[in-house]
Amino acid sequence: MSSQQIELILSRQLADSLSIPVFLVDTNGTLLFYNEPAEEILGMRYEETGSMPPEEWSTKFQPQSNDGKILDPSELPLVQTLKEKTPSHGEFWIKSMNGEMLKISVTSYPIIGRPSRFLGAVALFWKSSNT
Amino acid sequence: MKIRIWGCRGSLPSPGPEKNIFGGNTSCVQITHNKTCIILDGGSGIQRLGIGIDQSITKIDILLTHLHIDHIMGLGFFQPFYNPNITINIWGPSASKEGLQQRLRRYFSPPIFPVQLKELPSKPNIIEINSSQFEIDDFKITSEYVCHPGPTVGYRLQLGDTVFTYIPDHEPALGASDYPNNPEWTSGYSLAKDADLLIHDAQYKTSEYTSRVGWGHSSFADAVKFAELTKVKKMLLFHHDPLHTDETLKELFAEIYRDQHQKLELELAQEGNIYFLT
Ligand SMILES: [Zn+2]
Ligand SMILES: [Zn+2]
């Protein structure tokens, strides 16, 4: 086994120490880590799910728009960040593993290490007050 | 390969009678093998290395882990730089924006140093690396960014099946909440894994580390945990704190040696010591 790049290791450590929900993925979109506040919103535990391919996390929570239309994964901020390597933001509904419909705001940014090494992305999300 | 320690003090040269055993010069380690001469870091120890260097050597590769002053302060006093007949390559980590050459010029320029980089008769080649793999003669070398303030790499040097890893400034405990239990999420793990010899940061006593978290260095205990996790055969505790006397180092070593579980081969790095890896 080899270790992750230091930028990902430190991103995970930061996420682990925050009380806002954070989601960390590699360049392919594979979910590498999500923290405890994210576990609470998503209704699942990192220890139990481990890492997850993008096809799974981008559809698992049935992301949908205000009018109930299921969103294509390409419309999700984190997927856009991975594609464009730029920050992105959006609001949409998800169905947590507990079956609860939640409106969330998501801000994502790319992890670009020295010198211009694209290594993955982070999404910060929280329950939207604007429901 | 032959490995010689020319400096193993951290942060600041600190000679004196109370440091006679382990030495006061800052980071510098030389590797020789046939005609290959690789120098890890250019701390104050590099001065003596340069004075006595084998005159038949025509090429020198200097691998810098980072540009903190204790790792480059000896460069201007390294005699081979003033010999136009020697080829010198300086390898060092990329930063986000400013090039390695520009950053080295901050040291090689007045008022810090009278001679400019471009005036050095050997006209050194400056080569930037990041998380890279490259070769120097028979050595296969891997560099990777590690947990330490500013762009900092560690090096894994492989000659045949023999592996030597050098991570003089490193705080792996900072980047891992469940340190040292998760290799995939531990800074420097791939560099050190199964190495025959590891030189690793061990600047602080555990009691000192608690007030210096984030400064980029390890306690003796964390260094030993790192060596146990990476399953190295032998580790040299390196980057001694400038305030630690020979007596202090011996006491700390006795404590850590008593407490460690796996009984790995452990030594305090000592200026002048030579190791042969085959
Ligand atoms: Zn140092
Ligand atoms: Zn340093």
For the domain made up of A6-127, the CATH class stated in words is: alpha beta
- CB-CB contact of A77 with A88 (8 Å): yes
Most B CBs within 10 A among A2, A7, A9, hence the mutation to make, goes to A9
Q: What CATH number is attached to the domain comprising B43?
A: 3.60.15.10
* Chain A residue nearest residue B189, CA to CA: A3
pLDDT class of A131 with cuts at 50, 70, 90: low
pLDDT class of A97 with cuts at 50, 70, 90: confident
Strand partners, B153: B145
pLDDT exceeding 70 applies to what percent of chain B? Answer: 99
What pLDDT, in 10s, does the model give residues B12-31? 999 999 999 999 999 999 99
- The token duo for B21 is 């055993």
Do B185 and A115 make contact, defined as CB atoms within 8 angstroms? no
* Contacts with B182 (C-beta within 8 Å, 6 or more apart), sequence order: B176
Q: Chain B: nearest CA to A16, how far in angstroms?
A: 8
pLDDT class of B235 with cuts at 50, 70, 90: very high
Do B146 and A2 make contact, defined as CB atoms within 8 angstroms? no
* Chain A residue nearest residue B128, CA to CA: A115
What DSSP element (H or E) covers A7? helix A6-16
What pLDDT, in 10s, does the model give residues A77-93? 999 999 999 999 999 99
Do A6 and B144 make contact, defined as CB atoms within 8 angstroms? yes
* Predicted pLDDT at A128: 86
Q: Is 80 exceeded by the pLDDT of residue B259? A: no
Q: How many CB pairs under 8 A join A and B?
A: 58
**pTM here?**
0.94
Q: Is 60 exceeded by the pLDDT of residue B189? A: yes
pLDDT exceeding 90 applies to what percent of chain B? Answer: 94
- Please tell me if residue B174 touches chain A, with a CB cutoff of 8 Å: yes
* Predicted pLDDT at B261: 65
Asked which of B13-27, B193-207, B259-273 is least confident by mean pLDDT, the reply is B259-273
Question: What are the two backbone dihedrals, phi and then psi, of residue A73, each rounded to the nearest 5 degrees?
Answer: -50, -35
Q: Give me the torsion for CA of A122, A123, A124, A127, rounded to 10°.
A: -160
Q: Chain A: nearest CA to B97, how far in angstroms?
A: 7
* Predicted pLDDT at B69: 97
Do A115 and B94 make contact, defined as CB atoms within 8 angstroms? yes
- Please tell me if residue B133 touches chain A, with a CB cutoff of 8 Å: no
Measured between beta carbons, the chain B residues lying within 8 angstroms of A7 are: 145
Rounded to the nearest angstrom, the distance between the alpha carbon of A84 and the centre of ligand 2 is 35
- Domains of chain B: total: 1
| Average pLDDT value over all residues in chain B | 96
| Mean per-residue pLDDT, A9-37 | 94
Question: What are the two backbone dihedrals, phi and then psi, of residue B190, each rounded to the nearest 5 degrees?
Answer: -65, -35
* Predicted pLDDT at B264: 87
Collapsing DSSP states into helix, strand and coil, what is residue B49? helix
Highest mean pLDDT range out of A61-70, B178-187, B230-239? B230-239
Q: Is 80 exceeded by the pLDDT of residue B260? A: no
CB atoms within 10 A of CB A25: 27
- The token duo for B56 is 């038949």
**Domain residue limits, chain A:** 6-127
Q: Is 90 exceeded by the pLDDT of residue A130? A: no
pLDDT class of A60 with cuts at 50, 70, 90: confident
| Mean per-residue pLDDT, A53-68 | 90
Collapsing DSSP states into helix, strand and coil, what is residue A55? helix
Rounded to the nearest angstrom, the distance between the alpha carbon of B144 and the centre of ligand 2 is 15
Residues 69-128 of A with CB under 8 A from B: 113-115, 117
**Ligand sitting nearest the alpha carbon of B201:** 1
Q: Is 80 exceeded by the pLDDT of residue B1? A: yes
Collapsing DSSP states into helix, strand and coil, what is residue B85? coil
* Predicted pLDDT at A47: 87
Of A1, A114, A117, the CB nearest to B184: A1
Rounded to the nearest angstrom, the distance between the alpha carbon of A128 and the centre of ligand 1 is 46
Q: Chain A: nearest CA to B225, how far in angstroms?
A: 16
Q: Kindly list the strands in the beta sheet with A31-34, ordered across the sheet, starting from the edge strand earlier in the chain.
A: A31-34, A22-26, A117-127, A101-113, A88-95
What pLDDT, in 10s, does the model give residues A45-55? 998 988 899 99
Measured between beta carbons, the chain B residues lying within 8 angstroms of A1 are: 183-184
User: Could you list the residue range(s) of the whole structural domain that residue B100 is in?
Assistant: 2-276
One-letter amino acid of B28:
C
| Mean per-residue pLDDT, B229-243 | 97
Q: Is 70 exceeded by the pLDDT of residue B10? A: yes
- Please tell me if residue A14 touches chain B, with a CB cutoff of 8 Å: no
What pLDDT, in 10s, does the model give residues B116-149? 999 999 999 999 999 999 999 999 999 999 999 9
Q: Which residue has the tokens 């500013």?
A: B150
- Please tell me if residue A9 touches chain B, with a CB cutoff of 8 Å: yes
Q: Kindly list the strands in the beta sheet with B197-201, ordered across the sheet, starting from the edge strand earlier in the chain.
A: B132-136, B139-145, B153-159, B162-167, B197-201, B234-238, B265-268
pLDDT class of B262 with cuts at 50, 70, 90: low
- Please tell me if residue B11 touches chain A, with a CB cutoff of 8 Å: no
Q: Is 90 exceeded by the pLDDT of residue B175? A: no
Distance CA B39, CA B47 (A): 12
- Please tell me if residue A6 touches chain B, with a CB cutoff of 8 Å: yes
Distance CA A25, CA B273 (A): 45
